[in-house]
Chains A and B, each alone.
Chain A
């Protein structure tokens, strides 16, 4: 485990709306060490997407600071990769051309052949070989999300920020993609921040799970997962994982302003 890669220091943010300021984040602090996978869960509308936009430098916080790699974030950086709930693939480009897109911005001088090789390598890693020339509309939702993940990491970002990337997928496809995520991480390590609504997903994928409180959000609870790096889905049925899921569920209930469930432990 390396030094801190993502550092969020006392971030407070409010949106200006027609009915006045809407406080969304309140003195939120969070540290993700290099190489770690951090999952963030919290009640709906508590400010998770806002957090990702602040880390990516797409917005500036009202107060507090965001640091990446020991540098203060004030604007977007080329070393970030992003994936969203909606795969947002460009319909006029083939899958391969979609994956190459970030390279056109980040590495304009990279030879075409190398770009293609890089994209093909990733696509085959997520099981999309043979689909390079297809249009996004010819792929299933799960396949599109795989392509979107490839695009997010094609330029070897330091940080991968994902905002509910598996949220719209059915349960089986989702579990497949968790496995894909794992495989990708084994092949090329990256630091990740994953927003999710799925507690099992957070426990399976992450090294630590941060529970945010209700809006305005602050870090309410941090769970160190401590499962071995090389996991399979079976781990979720082991008692220690089940215990963790219970703890997280109680924390979510607290965040939602409800009492933890009786008899849960």
Chain B
């Protein structure tokens, strides 16, 4: 990684922070209107252990929900990608399900399994994020040019072999494209549930306690922590994409 690659985003971030600080200072906004970056550090420091503990909880729940979404989404995508009938049957159902704003599902789930906080959170992260994965895998598989299949089929290869050697790798770029969307969605899902559920844990809960106790710098600090986690998750996916589907990346010319 070159210096430029690190320096440019770092400088951009510092510039934004300085502008933010200036804006709050020039406007003379009180803390309850808009906290400034210099207020955030004390908030972080005061709750440092909670940030670590809750951050970890938000992280593992998101990853668990996303993992479920990957397993289920890829399975569903395979079923829909290989069978026309299943695609025709499931597609409208899926679209309908996806059209429901997930914010409305959150309280329903929270009431359905009262007290099962971990499960609820993972469940909502899963529900909100499997859709793009399923759709991308099914489209990737169903649009596989027949000739690609025929190179192996003409040698008597089994369906499974064709899947492993051709269909799966060919679908990987689409899959990772969807995973980038899904990871963000799962993260949103986790936080929605953490905020809504009483006596919860996780960064969402910390945000909620900030709200209840009118600790605005804490709320902003949580936002920054969430942004940080979101960035980390996103770049983990980008990193995996480089490893497994790097071939799809064209050299910039």
Residues of A within 8 A of B (CB): 53, 56-58, 75-78, 80, 82, 84, 86, 88, 90-92, 101-102, 104-106, 135, 137, 151, 155
Give the complex CA separation of A80 and B156 in angstroms. 10
Q: Is there contact, CB below 8 Å, between A82 and B150?
A: yes
Q: Is there contact, CB below 8 Å, between A82 and B156?
A: no
Residues of B within 8 A of A (CB): 145, 147-148, 150-157, 161, 165-166, 169-170, 172, 245, 247-248, 250
Name the contact of B155 in the complex, choosing from A53, A78, A84, A91 (C-beta under 8 A): A78
Given the interface pairs A90-B169, A91-B247, A91-B248, the reply to whether A76 lies near B156 with Cβ below 8 Å is yes
Q: Is there contact, CB below 8 Å, between B250 and A76?
A: no
Q: Is there contact, CB below 8 Å, between A105 and B157?
A: yes
Give the complex CA separation of A78 and B153 in angstroms. 9
Residue in B closest to A91 when the chains form the complex, CB atoms? B247
Name the contact of B153 in the complex, choosing from A76, A84, A86, A106 (C-beta under 8 A): A76
List residues of chain B with CB within 8 A of the CB of A53: 150
Q: Is there contact, CB below 8 Å, between A82 and B154?
A: yes
Residue in B closest to A163 when the chains form the complex, CB atoms? B147
Give the complex CA separation of A88 and B154 in angstroms. 14
Q: Is there contact, CB below 8 Å, between A88 and B148?
A: yes
List residues of chain B with CB within 8 A of the CB of A86: 145, 147
Name the contact of A57 in the complex, choosing from B154, B172, B250 (C-beta under 8 A): B154
Q: Is there contact, CB below 8 Å, between A80 and B248?
A: no
> What 3 pairs between A and B have smallest CB-CB spacing?
A92-B247, A76-B156, A56-B154
Give the complex CA separation of A86 and B170 in angstroms. 16
Give the complex CA separation of A16 and B170 in angstroms. 29
List residues of chain A with CB within 8 A of the CB of B145: 86, 88
Q: B150, B154, B165, B248 — which one has the most chain A CB atoms within 10 A of its CB?
A: B154
List residues of chain A with CB within 8 A of the CB of B248: 91-92
List residues of chain A with CB within 8 A of the CB of B147: 84, 86, 88
Give the complex CA separation of A92 and B249 in angstroms. 10
List residues of chain B with CB within 8 A of the CB of A82: 150-151, 154
* Chain A binding surface, main DSSP class: loop
List residues of chain A with CB within 8 A of the CB of B154: 56-58, 76, 80, 82
List residues of chain B with CB within 8 A of the CB of A104: 165
Min CB distance B168 to A, Å, is: 10
Min CB distance B159 to A, Å, is: 12
Give the complex CA separation of A84 and B151 in angstroms. 9
List residues of chain A with CB within 8 A of the CB of B156: 75-78, 105
Give the complex CA separation of A91 and B151 in angstroms. 14
Min CB distance B28 to A, Å, is: 58
Q: List 16 A-B contacts (CB under 8 A).
A: A57-B154, A78-B155, A80-B154, A84-B147, A86-B145, A88-B151, A90-B148, A92-B170, A92-B172, A92-B245, A92-B248, A101-B151, A101-B152, A102-B151, A104-B165, A105-B161
Give the complex CA separation of A85 and B169 in angstroms. 22
Min CB distance A191 to B, Å, is: 15
Q: A82, A106, A135 — which one has the most chain B CB atoms within 10 A of its CB?
A: A82
Q: Is there contact, CB below 8 Å, between B161 and A137?
A: no
List residues of chain B with CB within 8 A of the CB of A80: 154-155
Give the complex CA separation of A53 and B166 in angstroms. 19
Give the complex CA separation of A56 and B150 in angstroms. 9
Min CB distance B201 to A, Å, is: 42
Residue in A closest to B152 when the chains form the complex, CB atoms? A105
Give the complex CA separation of A260 and B145 in angstroms. 38
Give the complex CA separation of A86 and B146 in angstroms. 11
List residues of chain B with CB within 8 A of the CB of A57: 154
Name the contact of A102 in the complex, choosing from B150, B155, B172 (C-beta under 8 A): B155
List residues of chain A with CB within 8 A of the CB of B169: 90, 92
Name the contact of A137 in the complex, choosing from B170, B172, B250 (C-beta under 8 A): B250
List residues of chain A with CB within 8 A of the CB of B155: 76, 78, 80, 102, 105-106, 155
Residue in B closest to A57 when the chains form the complex, CB atoms? B154
Give the complex CA separation of A86 and B147 in angstroms. 8
Min CB distance B115 to A, Å, is: 47
Q: Is there contact, CB below 8 Å, between A58 and B151?
A: no
List residues of chain B with CB within 8 A of the CB of A135: 247
